[in-house]
Chain A
Amino acid sequence: MELVLSVAIGVLTASGVWLLFRPRTYQVVIGLSLLSYAVNLFIFGMGRLRINAPPVLEKGGAGGLLTHTDPIPQALVLTAIVIGFAMTALFLVVLLASRGLTGTDHVDGRE
């Protein structure tokens, strides 16, 4: 489990960073998306990995470290996903504007 998660984060980050340094705006967008997935997984991992442990209490039941997982990182991930999503959408609009104004999809507006 730990290995799978860390490899996933590593691969996503590496691909994201590589794509970020590419000259085409679309590659940059995909790079940023991959990077934000990696970050989301990373935040999730910071609550420690637990299997079959719910993050919310059942009605009337008492919570405990043995039966429950930390809910805060999950709440943080949710916020981070929403914000990341909005930012990617915004970036796409700017990308299209840049493409329309310069006639090229190069990040510097010229080949």
Chain B
Amino acid sequence: MSWVQHLIILPILLPLLTGAAIIPIDERERVTKGIIGFCSTALVFGISVFLLNRAGGFGADAPGAGVYLLGNWPAPFGIVLVLDRLSALMLVLASFLAMAAQVFAMARWHKAGSHFHSLFQLMLAGLNGAFLTGDLFNLFVFFEMMLAASYGLLLHGSGQLRVKAGLHYIAINLVASSLFLIGVSLIYGATGTLNMADLAMRIAGLSGENRMLMETGAAILGIAFLVKAGMWPLGFWLPNTYSAATPPVAAIFAILTKVGVYILLRLSLLFFGAEGGNSTGFGQAVLLYGGMLTIGFGAIGVLASQAMGRLAGYCVLVSSGTLLAAIGIGGPDVIGGALFYLVSSTITICAFFLLIELVERARDAGADVLAVTMEAYGDGDEDEAEKEEGEAVPGTVAVLGLCFCVCAVLLAGLPPLSGFLAKFAILHGLFDPENAGASAITGAQWTYVTLLIVSGLAAMIAMNRIGIRTFWNSIEGTIPRVYLIEITPVLVLLAACLFLSIQAGPAMRFMDTTAKFLTEPQHYTGRVMSAPQVGKE
């Protein structure tokens, strides 16, 4: 066993140890803590990119390259970590966003409370664990680890609003965790295993009674993840929580909903995919219709939001809904597009959450209320007169405005950038499946197409309105003080979207191959079950 294989566990161990190690450092030394934390995250990012490169060869060469047997027990009995293309992609995405949020926090937000950097590292450990784990119960443990740290992060900065939002968030997630446990134990009771690969192989051979139990368990388990992903009607907590969190926390929370989506994608394709026997396609209709309702609800919320924080929260819902419905439709082409959308939309929303705070520094507190009033009574003429005095747009506002425009284009899915390419890829997968012949497009799929386009329109209208109010019509006209360390993460995130747009060809090929392997679960199960033990190769 070469050292390279041990790299798989580092994305969990490194943040865990760093998070623990920086707890004793005095809180006044928070810059040191932040730098140590950032180094750890950057190292995880480097390792993830390396692993992604290696996982790219999965299926073609080196079978078993991505399976790590903890404690050296063979697969169905011991605990396994599995690294395939999808989990490597999620690792890269998570650590990339984490780096941006961390740098942003070091400007001022980490001063708002204690132990920000420790909690951040612990959440990252849980997050990476959830992406890597190969059995259901460890998924629960990593999920709880991630959630426990996220409770602390949400409450970071304290204040009545955050504590109230935190109370609701914790209560909802505790109930979801109970459902998670019920689901896991039902699945264990029916099949006798918790290893995902082993489960995937046993499902086709289940007897009628056990199949019913297993499907019940999977449905209850699914609810726990749908709460996390924010599917309508389980996602009402989301906009409140995300808009109450401090900006760097909200930015990293953008990927927490994607954990729910990731697990649903993985489990539904593994358990109820091509090899699911009589259970094939179980729950797909729920995901499709639930996802479409979520897009609809999110789009209405986007239009109705006056505050930018809530607008971003509803954008998270739209993004979740789009992905859930795409999983519901299934098929490698659609899922390939959905994966591209996942990466692009998560980076965009993360950047948007960071940008909101910078932009809102320029507005005074009453601006949101005034915006509502102006909407109701129409704009007064004095605003126009004020504008004609014609001060040159200061550099800061210009940069912020440009970033805001790029965010708007990405969220709305307008042509040149990756937001458009992602939606186009999903639509292309729907309309033109290369393998199947002229398969008819169902009514539900037409509705999905419509919703996808209309939600983009809603995002564009809302972003236009808020952008005009903020940049062209600001009441006081104060210039926000923005540090370089704060604007850089936003610029880097948006540059990543730009890079994704330019390199869309290779990226799309990667996503399509990933989707192809996901829809053929025998690769995953075969690799896990045949993973060699150390010393017995």
Known: A83-B144, A86-B148, A98-B164. A32 touches B175 (CB 8 A): yes
Give chain A's interface secondary structure class. Answer: helix
**Contact yes or no, B144 A39, CB < 8 A:** no
A35 to B177, CA, bound (A): 11
- B137: contacting residue among A20, A79, A107, CB under 8 A: A79
User: Does A26 sit at the interface, judged by CB under 8 A?
Assistant: no
Listed in ascending order, the chain A residues whose CB lies under 8 Å from chain B are 20, 25, 28, 32, 35-36, 39, 42-43, 45-48, 72-73, 76, 79-80, 83-84, 86-87, 90-91, 94-95, 97-98, 101-102, 107-109
Which chain B residues border A101 with CB–CB below 8 Å? 158-160, 163
A83 to B138, CA, bound (A): 12
Listed in ascending order, the chain B residues whose CB lies under 8 Å from chain A are 137, 140-141, 144, 148, 151, 155, 158-160, 163-164, 166-168, 170-171, 174-175, 177-178, 181-182, 184-186, 188-189, 194
* Nearest-neighbor residue (CB-CB) of B179 within chain A: A39
- B168: contacting residue among A83, A86, A107, CB under 8 A: A107
**Contact yes or no, B181 A43, CB < 8 A:** yes
* Nearest-neighbor residue (CB-CB) of B165 within chain A: A109
- A107: contacting residue among B167, B184, B194, CB under 8 A: B167
Known: A76-B137, A94-B163. A43 touches B185 (CB 8 A): yes
Q: List 8 A-B contacts (CB under 8 A).
A: A25-B167, A32-B174, A79-B141, A83-B177, A87-B148, A97-B155, A97-B158, A102-B160
Which chain A residues border B178 with CB–CB below 8 Å? 32, 35-36, 39
* Nearest-neighbor residue (CB-CB) of B188 within chain A: A46
Q: Smallest CB–CB gap between B150 and chain A, Å?
A: 11
**Contact yes or no, A87 B167, CB < 8 A:** no
**Contact yes or no, A28 B171, CB < 8 A:** yes
A91 to B175, CA, bound (A): 12
Known: A39-B182, A98-B167. A90 touches B175 (CB 8 A): no
**Contact yes or no, A73 B144, CB < 8 A:** no
Q: Smallest CB–CB gap between A100 and chain B, Å?
A: 9
**Contact yes or no, B144 A87, CB < 8 A:** yes
